[in-house]
Structure 1
């Protein structure tokens, strides 16, 4: 009897824990998803309070020999919330913030890539810019480099990851195009790592000039930006560039939610690279994206004439970015002193 009673208590503890976790998850879902329709934080708080109260009451019933009633009430309410949650679908038709107002798309014909809606903003402040969305043509036969940028805004463990491709026609200065997987904010929204767990943001893929997408981070937002040259065979560079174009087109056809852990600026890039270079190991630094450069370095993929600390110091572009004159070549200036990976066949 004592053993049976022990297991009953254990099961109730487990059930209580799962029910409380469900209450917490549903609170997050309700809070972030109702933000647009229920503007008042007090009203949302009241709704969450009712849900928490009912959830705790169901847990109470579980321990008062009325488990069936508690589980039934809880199960019906949670099923309703889950059905509502499943009905929330991503969309491409919202009132978007200006910097993600347009969607990138492209076509690939042989070596020629035609891109639509490449961003080339001229930023005056962190939130104000002259908007320019442009069509661009790129020749994959001229693709000669891949660089990884990491931009830090909340400590060493978290960074935004960007990938920049360099094109050299042998005449003009090298052209660069940077891809960035970002949240697609609505006009009234701000980034929230917690909201990213609860379908608050759609996913956006931006292609932009470095003077736009790197400069706004280093010069306007005050983020710490690092730029690393990545060693990659030219065939892999080409495949990765096309993978970005394919992802952009796919997001137009089927919009997708951003997810803080599983569909973000690092994990999506990793998935694309892993499809090109099979066997890449999983690593905790893919989640703690601030340490992604160390992960890439551990694979032997960074230009490496020195130890990593020296490479990282040279990769810090903020001082160089702020010193660039308006009429100077921004991309060349920020690469001064950055170790460059040799061009591979």
Structure 2
């Protein structure tokens, strides 16, 4: 039989084991929290480097120098500050300062805009119709293939009765040879004297003279967001001139819903004139704008962070998946059935462009 004092000795080790286990758990929690603090600080630093590099209110060369300096900041601090906590504090305060300065940059409607975006259509909306002045109607006389094509300027003034809106198409223009980023637009058809006419609305970056589009700049308040209202020939031929493949998908929604979307789009275009906003590459771009308009009448709620919205060349899959394209078309025809480029190449000026490019 084991002596009684042996049991007492074994029992006395239990609190020490529990304490040791608790210490290990606390140490693990501290290590995890420390990891996430460092990860957050690294993300803040990298974001601030990007914000300084593409800071919209300073010259690009100065932004590049400032961004590089901030990227090297941890190395410089490590040479002069011994305490790791102090190093992290200096980096944290610096990045917070950059963020606060960045947040104070306001959008503007008054800049030296390029020729595409200098004169923007402003809708006037009543209960029964929409009047639009300065609808863009450029005609492109060269093929850009990556650079801006030559064009002749023209503008239209339109009066569109809301009850004459007949249909809606979504245009998807592939920006690359592989299916990834794309530009999306909406075309509305309306009836005039028993003939269909088309107007196109495109949410775009409003660029200043000499400015080009950059996906990275689009993250850092570099562009304002605008709605370009143009006739369909202008909107699609510009994309063709850039060498982009453009597909046009007819949306099978009730006319009542399409008219509601049309009025909502016109209201949004008007609001952006008086209350400008910044474009954002992921959250406030051409495709997310269309999604927000459609979501107001559609039964399905689609997240703007859906990968097919981010990689907008796949956005047509959402149209098919949610039944927004005629079921017979989506089930029976290949994707290139909706391609407009070849038909546009054979278009003869003076005929009906919109009818010609549709299958």
TM over 0.5: yes
Choose which of 124, 128, 135 in structure 2 pairs with 1:111: 128
Asked if 1:70 is matched to 2:87, the reply is: yes
Equivalent-residue separation in structure 1 for 2:346 and 2:58 (angstroms): 45
Number of the residue aligned with 1:157? 180
Number of the residue aligned with 1:239? 260
Asked if 1:273 is matched to 2:290, the reply is: no
Number of the residue aligned with 2:9? none
Once the two structures are TM-superposed, the CA of residue 68 in structure 1 deviates from its matched residue by 3.4
**How do 1:163-312 and structure 2 match up within 5 A?**
163-171=186-194, 173-218=195-240, 220-282=241-303, 283-308=306-331, 310-312=333-335
Does structure 2 retain, via aligned residues, the 8 Å contact 1:103–1:248? no
Number of the residue aligned with 1:83? 100
Equivalent-residue separation in structure 2 for 1:295 and 1:168 (angstroms): 28
Equivalent-residue separation in structure 2 for 1:308 and 1:100 (angstroms): 39
Runs (4+) of structure 1 exceeding 6 A deviation are 59-62
- Any idea what SS the aligned residue of 2:123 has? strand
Number of the residue aligned with 2:64? 45
Equivalent-residue separation in structure 1 for 2:293 and 2:75 (angstroms): 44
Please, what TM-score do these two structures have when normalized by structure 1?
0.88
Equivalent-residue separation in structure 1 for 2:274 and 2:65 (angstroms): 38
Number of the residue aligned with 2:4? none
Sort the Cα spacing of 1:195 and 1:309 in 2 relative to 1 into closer, same or farther, 3 A: farther
Q: Which of these two proteins has the greater Rg computed from alpha carbons?
A: 2
Does structure 2 retain, via aligned residues, the 8 Å contact 1:294–1:308? no
Equivalent-residue separation in structure 2 for 1:11 and 1:280 (angstroms): 35
Please, what TM-score do these two structures have when normalized by structure 2?
0.85
Once the two structures are TM-superposed, the CA of residue 311 in structure 1 deviates from its matched residue by 4.8
Once the two structures are TM-superposed, the CA of residue 149 in structure 1 deviates from its matched residue by 0.8
Aligned residues: 329
Deviations 1:47-89 (A, max 9, x none): 2232122234557899x6x233223312321222122111111
Asked if 1:323 is matched to 2:311, the reply is: no
Once the two structures are TM-superposed, the CA of residue 272 in structure 1 deviates from its matched residue by 1.4
Give unpaired runs (5+ residues) of structure 1. Answer: 338-345
Once the two structures are TM-superposed, the CA of residue 263 in structure 1 deviates from its matched residue by 0.6
Does structure 2 retain, via aligned residues, the 8 Å contact 1:113–1:140? yes
